[in-house]
Structure 1
Amino acid sequence: MSTEKIPLRKDVPAEHKWDLTQLYKSESDWEADLKKIPEFTEKMVAFKGRLGESSNTLLAALKADDELGLLVEKVYHYASLMNEADQSESSNQERYNKVMMAYTNMSSQCSFFTPELLSIDDEKINAWCELPEFADYKISIKKALHSKPHILSEKEERLMALQSESGQTASTVFSLLNDVDMDFGTVHCDGGDRPLTHSTWSNFLENQDRSIRQEAYTKFYDQFEKHANTLASLYAGSINNDIFVARARGYKSSLDMALYDDKVPESVYRNLIETVHKNLPDLHRFYSLRKKILGVDELRHWDVYVPLVKSVKSKVTYEESVEICRNAMAVLGKEYTETLCGGLLGGWCDRYENKGKHSGAFSSGCYEGYPYILLNYDDNTLRDVYTMAHEGGHSMHSWYSVHNNPFSCYEYTIFEAEVASTFNEELVFQYLLKNAKDDEMKKYLLAMRANDILATLHRQTMFAEFELKCHEAVENGTPLSCDGIRKIYRDLLELYFGPEMKFEKSSDMEGLRIPHFYNAFYVYKYATGISASLALAKRVTEGGEKEREDYFKFLKSGGSRYPIDALRVAGVDMESPAPVQAALDTFKHLVDQLEKLL
C-alpha cells in the first residue's frame, strides 16, 4: 500500500480490515453483552463466604467465574480492537472507557474470590483438585496457590482492584500523545513530501540517501524532545506504580513481582544481561563493519538501520508475503500453514496503516473469535514479511492453545509467546536465503538477519537493562528526573553501540518513546525468546517427526505448564545460559560471513 496518503479508517476496504463480526455481529450485540456484566458479577458475588462449604459449591463458583471471564474477555477485546484500529475516533475511546469502567467495577466486587479460595485449608483444596470434575480447574487452582504469599485480604484486594484503572493513566496518556497528538511533519523524498509517521519512520531510516535519513531522524526526535519533561514524568509515574504494587503485595522488588507468577528465576534475567555484555565485542565489530561499508567518517544514529547491501529489490505485496509464510513454514505441516494463511487472507488481520491506528504490530485474541493480528504492512519493506511471520506465530500459538485447553488455563505467558513468533522469523529467513536468486540477495538477507537478531537480542537486552536500572534507582531511594532517565539511557547507548557511534543530543530520547516500557520487564522476553527459538528452529528443521511433535506439545501447552517447563518439553533449557550464548554465536557467525562477503 502506498504511504503517500494515509487513509481515514472509513476509507479502508473491508477486505483489508479484521473481521470483528466473529466477536459481535453488531454494536447492539456488544452493548447487550456489556450490560450483562453486572448480572454475571452478581452471580459470582453470590458465592462470597461460601467457597469452602463443599467441593460442589467451589465447582459451581469456578464455573460462574468462567462464565463471567468469557463474557468480560469478549466484551473487552472487541472494544480494545476497535480502539486500536482508530484511536482518533471518539466513539472508540468511549467504548473502551465503558468496558474499562465495567471491568474495574467487576474486579472490585469479585476481589473476594482469590483470597477466599486461598483461605481454604490446603489439605481440603488439594484433595478436591484430584476429583475428576475438577480436571479443567486443577492447574489454575495450583497456580493460584503459588501466588498465595502475595494475595492480600479481601478489603485490600478490593482497594487494589479499584486502583487498577488509575494505575493505567500513564500508559494511556503516553499512547494518546505518541500515536495521536504528535505530528512529525513530512520528509522530502523521491521528489515530493511524504508524511513522517511511526510506520514510515523505519522506511526513511532504511533509505540509502543519508540526507533523508538525517532529516527523518531529526524531525522525529525533535517532536519527542519538545515533550521531554512530560514523557519523563509519565514514565516515572509508571515506575512508581509498579513499585507501589510490588511493595503492597510484599514482593522483594518490582522485578521479583514481574517474574514470580511465571516461576522464572531472577538469574535468568540477570544472566541474559551478563551474557550479552560478555559478547559486546562482536556487536561493536558489526558496527565497525557498518561504518566501513557505508563509507562514512562518523557513524551516526540514523545510519544503523539502512541496508548494507544496495540495489536489491525488496517489494513484496501482502499476498506474496502470505505465500512466503506458507512455504517457509511447510516443515510444520499442512494444518499449521493452511490455518495461518487462511486467517491472514480471511479476516484475522488488519493489514495497512490508517489515520489514528496503533503503530507497529501485535497479535491479540481471546477464547472466542479469531486470534487477531494488527499490522501496518508496507510492501516496500521486506522486514514486514518477517513482521507478518512474527505476529502469525503469536496467533497460531493462541489457536493451538485455545483448541487444546479449557478456558481456565488456555492463556500462555509472554515468556513463551516470543518463542513462537521468532521461531517463524527464523523459518522465513532460512527459506528466503535458500531461494535467493543471486549473491547480492544472499548478502542482503544475511545483513538483514544480523540486524534482526541484533534488534531482538542485543537491543531488547539493552532495553531490559534500562528498565532494571530505572526501577532499581527508585527502589534504592533515587527519584527519577528527566535528566536522570536520559543519562541512564545514554550510558547504555554508548556501552552497547561502542566507540564507532556518534550520538546526537536527542538520541537518548529513544528511552522515552518505547511503548513496551509501560508494561514493565516485558522486553527481556524478546531476547530469551529468540534464544530459545533459534535452538528450536534448528532442532525442528534438522530433526524428524519427534522434534516437530515436541514443538507442537509446546504450542498446545497454553497455560497448562510454567514457561520454563513448557520449553523444556520442547527441547530447550532456559535456566542454562547456553541458549543465549548459542544465539550470540549465531550472530557472530553472521558477522564473520558478512566480513568475508562485504
Structure 2
Amino acid sequence: MQIRTRSEQLVEDTWDLGSLFSDAQDWEQGMETLKRCIEEAPSFRGSLQKGKEEFLATMRWYEQTAILAERLYNWAFLNYSSDASSSEQVRRYAQVSSSMSQLSAAMAYFDPELLGLDDTVVEAYLADPAFGDYAVFIRKARRFKAHVLDEAQERLMALQSEVASVPRTTFSDLTNVDFDFGMLDGSPLTQSTFSSFLMQEDRELRKKAYKQFYHVYDASKHALARLYEGQVKQDIFRAKARGYESCRAMALFPDNVPIAVYDSLIAAVHEALPTLHRYYRLRARLLGLEKLAHYDVYVPLVGGIHTNTPYTQAVEIIAKALAPLGAEYVRTLTDGLTTERWVDRYENKGKRSGAFSSGTFTSKPYILLNYKEDVLRDVFTVAHEGGHSMHSHYSAANNPFFQYDYTIFEAEVASTFNEQLLARYLIEQSEDQAMKAYILGKQLDDIVATLFRQTMFAEYELRTHQLAEEGTPLTLELLRSEYRSLLQTYFGDAVEFEEESDLEGLRIPHFYSSFYVYKYATGISAAIALSRKVLENGESARKDYLTFLSSGGREYPIDSLRMAGVDMADEQPVREALATFANLLSQFEALA
C-alpha cells in the first residue's frame, strides 16, 4: 500500500466543493461578507422586542447570515479534513472557527431577547404565515429558557467556545498528523490501515501491527489523558454554567431524549452479554485458539475469503441493494457517489481517518472516505455514509433552513438502514455457502461494533463524567483502569488483554463529542426494525421511511421515528436488535 500526497490524488477521486465556493479567492470574499455581518449584528439588539415586523426582519437577516457562515465553515472544514498537513488549510479552518465564535459573541443578545418575550406575544407572531419558516426553530429555542444566560454571560460563553475546541482539535492533529506509526511488512501503518492489518489472517502480522500502533500511543499517553480530561472539564463547565443537572443531561436535552433511554440501553445490553461472550468463544474456536488476544477480535469469522471491490463496482452493488427505496433514491445517490463528485474517495497523507458525511443547506452532501478495495467493510462504509448524505439531501430539499438540520440520533438510523439492506442483498445474491457465512459473520461483527461496542463506549463516558462531577481527578491510571474493567465485562473470559489494551480508551475520536456514541446503538436498533418493515411491507413502509428522511428537524427525533414506525422511547427496538444478533449467531453456527 502506498499513501499518496494530496496533490497526487486524481481529480475524479476527490470531491467537488464548488457548490460551496468556487475557489479560495471566492471563499475569502465570503469571509469578508461574514466580517461585515458580524459588525452589523449588534445593530439588531432589541429588535426582537420592538414588534412583529422588526422580529421578522431580524430572523431573515439571521437566516442569510447563518447560511453564509455554514457554507464558509464547511468549505474550510472539508479542505482541512482532506489535508491537515497543509498550513493554508489549517489557517483557514482556524480563521473561520474564530469568526464563528465572534458571530456568536456579537449575537449574544439574541437568545435572552427571544426567551424574554411573553408566550402570548410569540404565539401571536407565529400565527402569521410569514413566520412559517421560523416557527419550529423559535419554539425549540424557547424550550432552553432555563439554560440560557443573560446577554453578557452569553457573550462570554460564545467567546469561550473557541477555547473549548482545543482538546478536540489538538487530539485530531496529534493522532492524524503528528503520529508516525512507521512501516510494517512493506506498507505504511496508519490510522486507516490499522483496521486492515487487524483483519489479516496472519496472526503474527496482526500482533506486530497492534504492538507497533499502540507503542506510539503509549509514548504520548499522559498528554492524551490530559486532553480527554480537558474535554470532560469543558463539559462540566458548560453544564454548570447553564444549570443542567449533569453533562449527560445537557447532551440529551436538545434532542428531548429521556435519560431513561440511555440507562435502559446499557441495561438491555448487559442482559445480552452472555450472548456476546458466546460469540467471542465461537470466534476463539474458529481461530483454533484457547483464548483470543485483543488483536484477534476483528478477523473475519470465515477465513480464506478475499474480496477486491473497486469503488465503481461498490457503487453498482449498493445501487442494487437499495432498490427497495425506489428509483429516485437510487439514481440520486448513484450520481452523487460518482459523476456529481460528492465523495473524496481515498486516503492521502494528512487526511482525516475514518469516514463522515457533511453538507450544508445549499451544497452537495459531501462524503469523506478512506476507501480500500480489499476491505469488504469499506463497501458497507460507502452505503453507510451514502445514507447520511441522502438524509441530508431529502432534508434540505423539503424544509426551510431553520428546520432542515436533523439530529445525530436520527442520522444514525439512515446510515445503518442502508447497511442492513446491503447485507440482506449480498446474502441473497451469493450462491456460495462460505460467502453467505462470511456476510452473516460481517453482520454479527457490525452489531458487535455498533450496538455492543458503542454501548461500552457510552458506559465509559458516563463513568468518567460522573467521576469527574463527583470531584475525582481523571488521572491516566484511573482512565485506564475504568476502560480495562469495561473491556473485561464486555469481552468476557474468552479474551486475554495485552498490557496496552486499555490505551484504546485514549484513541476514540468520538469521546471529544461527549455522549454521542450511544446514538450509534439506538440507530442500529431502529434501522434493523425499519429495514425489516420496508422489506416486508413494501410501498407503504417505503413512503413512511422517505417521509422520515424528509422531515429534517421538524420534530424531535423520537417523534419523527415514531412516524416512520419505531418507538425508541420503548426498550423493545433495542431488545429486538439484540434478539436479531442471537438469531444471526445461531444461523452462523449452523453454517459454520
Q: Unaligned stretches of 5+ in structure 1?
A: none
Number of residue pairs matched?
A: 591
Measured in 1, the distance between the counterparts of 2:168 and 2:122 equals 38
Amino acid at match of 1:180: V
Amino acid at match of 2:187: R
- For the residue of structure 2 that corresponds to 1:252, the secondary structure is coil
Cα deviation for residue 170 of structure 1 reads: 0.5
For the 8 Å contact 1:44–1:61, the answer to whether it is kept is no
Cα deviation for residue 27 of structure 1 reads: 1.1
Q: Is 1:296 the counterpart of 2:289 in the alignment?
A: yes
- The one-character-per-residue Cα deviations of 1:351-404 (angstroms, maximum 9, x if unpaired) are 000000000000000011210000000000000010000000000000000000
- For the residue of structure 2 that corresponds to 1:499, the secondary structure is helix
Measured in 1, the distance between the counterparts of 2:303 and 2:256 equals 46
- For the residue of structure 2 that corresponds to 1:373, the secondary structure is strand
Give the aligned partner of residue 560 of structure 1: 554
- For the residue of structure 1 that corresponds to 2:49, the secondary structure is coil
Give the aligned partner of residue 521 of structure 1: 515
For the 8 Å contact 2:38–2:102, the answer to whether it is kept is no
Q: Is 1:415 the counterpart of 2:409 in the alignment?
A: yes
Measured in 2, the distance between the counterparts of 1:337 and 1:44 equals 43
Correspondences of 1:82-231 after superposition (within 5 Å) = 82-188=79-185, 193-231=186-224
Give the aligned partner of residue 32 of structure 2: 35
Give the aligned partner of residue 406 of structure 1: 400
Q: State the 4+ residue runs in structure 1 displaced beyond 3 angstroms.
A: none
State the Cα RMSD in Å.
0.8
1:569 aligns with one of 563, 567, 571 = 563
For the 8 Å contact 1:175–1:515, the answer to whether it is kept is yes
Measured in 1, the distance between the counterparts of 2:374 and 2:332 equals 26
Amino acid at match of 2:33: K
Amino acid at match of 1:142: R
Q: Is 1:363 the counterpart of 2:363 in the alignment?
A: no
Give the aligned partner of residue 226 of structure 2: 233
Correspondences of 1:532-571 after superposition (within 5 Å) = 532-571=526-565
Amino acid at match of 2:447: I
Cα deviation for residue 71 of structure 1 reads: 0.7
- For the residue of structure 2 that corresponds to 1:46, the secondary structure is helix
- The one-character-per-residue Cα deviations of 1:229-260 (angstroms, maximum 9, x if unpaired) are 00000000000000100000000000000000
- For the residue of structure 1 that corresponds to 2:187, the secondary structure is strand
Q: Is 1:262 the counterpart of 2:259 in the alignment?
A: no
Q: Using structure 1 for the length normalisation, give the TM-score.
A: 0.98
Give the aligned partner of residue 70 of structure 2: 73
Cα deviation for residue 313 of structure 1 reads: 3.1
Amino acid at match of 1:423: F
For the 8 Å contact 1:75–1:99, the answer to whether it is kept is yes
Q: Is 1:594 the counterpart of 2:588 in the alignment?
A: yes
- The one-character-per-residue Cα deviations of 1:172-212 (angstroms, maximum 9, x if unpaired) are 11001100011111222xxxx11101111111101000000
Q: Is 1:64 the counterpart of 2:58 in the alignment?
A: no
Measured in 2, the distance between the counterparts of 1:47 and 1:165 equals 24
- For the residue of structure 2 that corresponds to 1:51, the secondary structure is helix
Cα deviation for residue 148 of structure 1 reads: 1.0
Amino acid at match of 1:244: F
Q: Using structure 2 for the length normalisation, give the TM-score.
A: 0.99
Measured in 2, the distance between the counterparts of 1:202 and 1:437 equals 28
Measured in 1, the distance between the counterparts of 2:18 and 2:551 equals 28
Cα deviation for residue 38 of structure 1 reads: 2.2
Measured in 2, the distance between the counterparts of 1:432 and 1:519 equals 34
- For the residue of structure 1 that corresponds to 2:48, the secondary structure is coil
Amino acid at match of 2:317: I
1:495 aligns with one of 479, 486, 489 = 489
Cα deviation for residue 297 of structure 1 reads: 2.8
Measured in 2, the distance between the counterparts of 1:395 and 1:127 equals 37
Measured in 1, the distance between the counterparts of 2:395 and 2:78 equals 21
Give the aligned partner of residue 280 of structure 1: 273
Measured in 2, the distance between the counterparts of 1:41 and 1:102 equals 8
Measured in 1, the distance between the counterparts of 2:64 and 2:158 equals 20
Measured in 1, the distance between the counterparts of 2:47 and 2:439 equals 62
Give the aligned partner of residue 8 of structure 1: 5
Measured in 2, the distance between the counterparts of 1:557 and 1:308 equals 39
For the 8 Å contact 2:311–2:371, the answer to whether it is kept is yes
- The one-character-per-residue Cα deviations of 1:133-184 (angstroms, maximum 9, x if unpaired) are 1110110000011111100000000000000000011001100110001111
Cα deviation for residue 44 of structure 1 reads: 3.2
Give the aligned partner of residue 424 of structure 1: 418
Cα deviation for residue 96 of structure 1 reads: 0.6
Measured in 2, the distance between the counterparts of 1:104 and 1:258 equals 20
Percentage of identical aligned residues: 50
- For the residue of structure 1 that corresponds to 2:504, the secondary structure is helix
Q: Is 1:252 the counterpart of 2:257 in the alignment?
A: no
Cα deviation for residue 45 of structure 1 reads: 2.3
